[in-house]
Structures are given as structure tokens and as C-alpha cells.
Chain A
Amino acid sequence: MSSRAKSGWIIDSRRIAASVRSLTIAALIVLGAFSGCASPQAKVDLVYFPPPPVTAHAVHLLSFNNLGDLAPAEQSWLSVLRGATGGPFVTTPAGMAYRDDVLYICDIGQNVVHRWNLQDRAGRRLGEGQLVKPVDVAVDEAGVVYVADTGLAEVVAIGSDGKIARRLKPPDREGYRPVAAAVHGQKLCVADIHDHRVDVFATDDGRLLDSFGGAGDAPGEFFYPVDLAFTPDGRLCVLEMMNPRVQVFDIDAGHSLVTTFGKPGDRYGALGKPKRIEVGPDGVVFIADVGFAYIQLFDLQGRLLMLLGSGGEGHAATPMPSGLAIAGSLPEPLAGLVPTDFEASYFLFASNSVGSERVSLYAIGLGRPAATTGQ
């Protein structure tokens, strides 16, 4: 009897111990899940560029695949339990744009443009069922979203109500293939890789104001102009992929050529297969190079400043950079991710069409002396 009682006590103690273990694990899981709710859920990786001990000029803050990664307040119990943070997600990102706390991401996997408001953490899908192959996006001051769609062979203007307000295409242009769009003031510039031209439209009524270029490698000609960006003083940078170079034009002065830089190659200082271009408010030129598998930084004189990313491996990987967008400032909690040893001047979003890190966020600026010790 005593042995049975002892045996029963032993059994009970094992059960109790097992229950305690289960409860402890469950509590740890819940605590672990909610402890992360106070900050963005995406992988936060502070990676300095250049690496220490050189003074940093950029910091990789985090990478994310869905809006929920950046919106902890919207997490549900279900999303916590399934390990996902919910919200709209990006599949195959292409060109991007940023204006007034809103990140726009072309998604050629879902055939939409994601409109993610980082302030109120709300996501919308623009062009659902209407876009075919949205490869680049630009937004004007009125909030009109211009989408270059190679599947539709036209540029689609989407109003603030989410409806298509206008369709833009140069008249009598056979095989039109718009791959890039950029807005400055009242002018929308679009690159056409079929005719290797840049077209300038008026944003108010869609009139074709100017068209220049044509296939070739002479100054003022283009060979596969894949992306456009404006400098802080309103000059247009045209990036060519198959004749790797950047040509800068003054489109307010009869598209006169201001300067040119870039040469093909596979070593520091050259361009491999440049795909996207963006210019920071300080004049730093960011070029997403799918040949190098890095984002290259140049000044407007064409001097290489440094590389951003890590190729196809490691943290802040850039195996196939597909889009760039500059943000002058960011809402919280994103802005709070900047480490204390780095002074951010502005931010860069960079997308990858493959890999586990579809969109990465970098702070661009200058590391304080402490940054040279790394983190």
C-alpha cells in the first residue's frame, strides 16, 4: 500500500513537473511573442557601411517582407501564434517610391502597387485587376501615382481615390515599353526601352512636352535606359543598362546634356548591370547594380563612394536589387531604429526581387566616432 502510495506520488509529481514545464514554456512563448511587440518585428540588423573601423556612411536598419513587420500595433493573437506578423506582403518587388510617409512598391508577382502608409500603418493595393506588369512607380505632389506597366504598354495615372484617372503613352509609338517613371514638379519623365527614348509629360493634362534620345551610344542617345531620377536641383539622370552609364540632362533647357559618367566593368569604379538609380538630397547617386549584386554609391562627378549591401549572402543581402526609394524622414517607430552612434540625414529603401530580404531600410548619414567600434 505504501509502495503504491509512493508510486502514485511519484507518478503525480512527474505529471506536475510536466505540467509546470508546459506552463513555463507556454509563458515563455507568450512573453517572447509580446516582448517583441514594442518594436518592429522584422529582423533588425545594424550593419554599418563601410564596416568598422572606417567611418560609417550608412546603416542597414532592418529588412521586411510585409507591412505587419513594421506595424506591431496591428498584430493579432493568430499572427503571433503562426509566427507571422500579418498585413499585406510583397512578393516580387520592382520599382518603388516614397512620399509623405507612404511607401509605394510595385509588385510584379501580384500585379499591384502596394501603398503602405508607415504613419498609420495601413496598406492598400492599387491597380488590383487592372495592372499587368507594374515595374516602376512615381508620385506627384498632388498624390497622383504614375505606374509604368510593361504589360499594358502604357503609364497609368491612379488618383487618390484609387481609380485610374489617365493613361499616358506617346502617340504613334509602336512597341512602347515604359520601364521607369520619375516626377519633378509638373513634369513626368518616362523611359521607353523599346525606342530607347525618354518622354516628358505634363502632370496636369498628360500632354507630351518633350521626347529625346534614340538608340545609340553617342552623347544624348540611349541604349536600354532602365531608370530615371532627379538630382536635388531638378536635373534628370538617365541610367542605361546595356551601355552602362549615367547621363544627366537639364530638361528645363531643351534637355541639354550636363554631364556623363560610368563605364562597364567588373571591378571597383565600374558599372556591371545597373538597373535602378536614385539621388539623395545631398547629391549622392545610388545605383542598384544587378551585375555586382550591390548598391553602388557615386557622387555626381562619377566618383565611386562605396558599396551598400552584401551581394547574395549574409545580412543586408542584395542578390537582385530591383528598386530604390529615398525618404527624407520616417515616422516612429522606424526613425527610432537609428543607433545613437549614427547621425541619419535621410533614409533609403531598397528592394530585392529574390532572396529572403525583399525590402531593406538603410539610414544614410555619418557615423559618430563611437560607430567605429561597431555594434
Chain B
Amino acid sequence: MKRKTTAVGASLIFLVSFVCGLAFADLKGSVHDFSSPKWKGVDQCGVCHMPQTKEAVPPLWDTRVDLSRRFGKMSMRKADPGMGTLACLRCHDGTIAKDATGAAIRDIDYPTMASPLRFGMGHGRSDHPVGVEYPQFDPEYRPTTFVLAGWKVTLPDGKVECSSCHDPHAFSGEKYLLRMSNSGSALCLTCHKK
């Protein structure tokens, strides 16, 4: 039993090391390479991911909180847009990093509390929506099964998010952290029929 546990543990360590090794190998030289001198030896993962802390301090005004709670991903699980976008927008809002929130006004209906704004993502002036359901039944778009079959483009929870086309870990090595080459509009045509 002990030997089996050790083997499983060793396998997990190997797997995590392998994946992390791959991640760092691909991040090197990418726009998300936080090991460059500009980043002053900062924890590379910590730029995007929050470090896990062991101890929690109870708030003075609210001592009844669940001190085991961890913030970050789980606190925004039902957000719209989803985590595949919110994690990017922490920096990509025009302050820390290049703005990705250049919502074009023409795409925004009159905002009210009853009809919340849709979030338009900016790629210069040609914006692309995120946090929206993939229009799988629209004849101008390819079926979801086709989109996901290539194992490149992702649709987290059936939605189009930043992470649908961009991979923050730069596994593909493509420019702009694209998940695949857009040569001949190949990436666009994964979803769009024309």
C-alpha cells in the first residue's frame, strides 16, 4: 500500500514538473515571459496567479467568516464574463498592460439595469465579444463539435472567452499568444464559416 502511494506521488510530481517545465519552456521569450530583467526577479506564476497562503486572519469587524476560504477563481465562478476572461482583465485594462476593453460604442445598446451591458473586447477598433454563449445554432458558425475537435480553440462553459483564442501560457509559440496559427485566417475559420 505504501509502495503504491509512493508510486502515485512520484508520478504526480513528475507530471506536475513536466507540465510546469513545458509551460516555462514556452513562456520563455513570449510576451508573458516574466523572467526578463524588467520583472526584477518576481515570482513568474504570481504575476497572474495568486500565491496560496497557509494562514488566514479573521476580519476585526466580521469574525464569523469561514477562515478556510480561498479567494480568486472560486469567488468569481458565476461571473459574466468567466474566469477565462476576468483573469486577463486584471492587467489588460489599459493600466498594467495593453487595454483589451476597448468596447466599441456602436455595439452597446442603451445600458440599463434591466439590460446589462454586454462586454465588448477590443482588438484595436475591430472588437470581438467575450463572455457570450457560442452561437452553435447560427448557420454562419460551425458546430461546437467541429470547433472543439481540433483541440485548439476552447469554449469554457460553452462561452467565447479570451482563452478561446489566446493561451496565456504560450504553448503554441504563436504571436499574440494565439492558440494556433491564424495563417490564412485558420484560427478565425475554426468558428466562423466566412
Nearest B residue to A49 by beta-carbon distance? B62
Q: B85-105 interface mask toward A, CB cutoff 8 Å, 1 = contact, 0 = none?
A: 010011001111001011101
Nearest B residue to A307 by beta-carbon distance? B59
User: Chain A binding site: helix, strand, loop or mixed by DSSP?
Assistant: loop
Nearest A residue to B110 by beta-carbon distance? A84
Judged by a CB distance under 8 angstroms, whether B57 is at the interface is yes
Q: B43-84 interface mask toward A, CB cutoff 8 Å, 1 = contact, 0 = none?
A: 000110011110111111111110101111001111111000
Judged by a CB distance under 8 angstroms, whether B40 is at the interface is yes
Which of B9-17, B23-31, B115-123, B167-175 binds A? B115-123
Is A311 a contact partner of B76 (Cβ separation < 8 A)? yes
Q: Which of A57, A273, A307 has the most chain B CB atoms inside 10 A of its CB? A: A273
Judged by a CB distance under 8 angstroms, whether A179 is at the interface is yes
Judged by a CB distance under 8 angstroms, whether B114 is at the interface is yes
* Nearest CB on B from A228, distance (A): 13
* Nearest CB on B from A78, distance (A): 11
Is B61 a contact partner of A57 (Cβ separation < 8 A)? yes
Judged by a CB distance under 8 angstroms, whether B8 is at the interface is no
Q: Which residues in B have their C-beta under 8 angstroms from that of A183?
A: none
Q: Which residues in B have their C-beta under 8 angstroms from that of A122?
A: none
Is A215 a contact partner of B40 (Cβ separation < 8 A)? yes
Q: Which residues in A have their C-beta under 8 angstroms from that of B70?
A: 266-267
Q: A199-221 interface mask toward B, CB cutoff 8 Å, 1 = contact, 0 = none?
A: 00000000000000001110000
Is B72 a contact partner of A193 (Cβ separation < 8 A)? no
Known A-B contacts A109-B102, A179-B95; the reply to A272 vs B81 at CB < 8 A is no
Q: Which residues in A have their C-beta under 8 angstroms from that of B56?
A: 267-269
Is B119 a contact partner of A354 (Cβ separation < 8 A)? yes
* Nearest CB on B from A62, distance (A): 9
Q: Out of A92, A290, A305, A317, which one reaches B101, CB within 8 Å?
A: A92
Q: Which of B58, B115, B119 has the most chain A CB atoms inside 10 A of its CB? A: B119
* Nearest CB on B from A135, distance (A): 5
Q: Which of A84-118 contact B (CB under 8 A)?
A: 84-85, 89-92, 94, 108-110
Judged by a CB distance under 8 angstroms, whether B112 is at the interface is yes
Q: Which of B52, B62, B79 has the most chain A CB atoms inside 10 A of its CB? A: B62
* Nearest CB on B from A363, distance (A): 15
Judged by a CB distance under 8 angstroms, whether A6 is at the interface is no
Judged by a CB distance under 8 angstroms, whether B113 is at the interface is yes
Known A-B contacts A85-B112, A354-B81; the reply to A292 vs B75 at CB < 8 A is yes
Q: Which residues in A have their C-beta under 8 angstroms from that of B46?
A: 242, 264
Known A-B contacts A91-B103, A291-B90; the reply to A307 vs B78 at CB < 8 A is no
CA distance A293 to B80 in the complex (A): 13
* Nearest CB on B from A227, distance (A): 9
Which of A8-16, A63-71, A337-345 binds B? A63-71
Q: Which residues in A have their C-beta under 8 angstroms from that of B81?
A: 354
Q: Which residues in A have their C-beta under 8 angstroms from that of B58?
A: 268-269, 304
Nearest A residue to B78 by beta-carbon distance? A313
Is A267 a contact partner of B55 (Cβ separation < 8 A)? yes
Known A-B contacts A242-B42, A306-B59; the reply to A83 vs B115 at CB < 8 A is yes
Q: Which residues in A have their C-beta under 8 angstroms from that of B86?
A: 293, 312, 319-320, 354
* Nearest CB on B from A265, distance (A): 3
Is A54 a contact partner of B108 (Cβ separation < 8 A)? no
Judged by a CB distance under 8 angstroms, whether B111 is at the interface is yes
Q: A24-57 interface mask toward B, CB cutoff 8 Å, 1 = contact, 0 = none?
A: 0000000000000000001100000110001101
Is B105 a contact partner of A109 (Cβ separation < 8 A)? yes
Is A355 a contact partner of B72 (Cβ separation < 8 A)? no
Is B113 a contact partner of A273 (Cβ separation < 8 A)? no
Known A-B contacts A293-B76, A294-B71; the reply to A63 vs B113 at CB < 8 A is yes
Judged by a CB distance under 8 angstroms, whether A150 is at the interface is yes
CA distance A290 to B83 in the complex (A): 12
Q: Which residues in A have their C-beta under 8 angstroms from that of B79?
A: 293, 311-313, 317, 319, 354-355
Q: Which of A134-174 contact B (CB under 8 A)?
A: 135, 150-151
Is A150 a contact partner of B50 (Cβ separation < 8 A)? no
Known A-B contacts A63-B113, A108-B101, A294-B71; the reply to A223 vs B61 at CB < 8 A is no
Nearest A residue to B131 by beta-carbon distance? A354
* Nearest CB on B from A259, distance (A): 17
Nearest A residue to B39 by beta-carbon distance? A242
* Nearest CB on A from B96, distance (A): 6
Q: Which residues in B have their C-beta under 8 angstroms from that of A320?
A: 86, 89-90, 93
Ordered by A's residue number, 24 sampled pairs between the chains whose C-beta atoms are within 8 Å are A50-B59, A50-B64, A54-B61, A69-B113, A150-B95, A150-B99, A151-B94, A216-B40, A242-B47, A242-B96, A264-B46, A265-B53, A268-B59, A269-B57, A269-B59, A272-B71, A273-B50, A297-B59, A305-B62, A306-B61, A311-B79, A312-B75, A355-B80, A358-B117
In the A-B complex, the 9 residue pairs with the closest CB atoms: A312-B79, A269-B57, A356-B116, A265-B53, A312-B76, A50-B62, A311-B75, A267-B56, A292-B71
B residues in contact (CB < 8 Å) with A: 40, 42, 46-47, 50-53, 55-65, 67, 69-72, 75-81, 86, 89-90, 93-96, 99, 101-103, 105, 108, 110-117, 119-120, 131
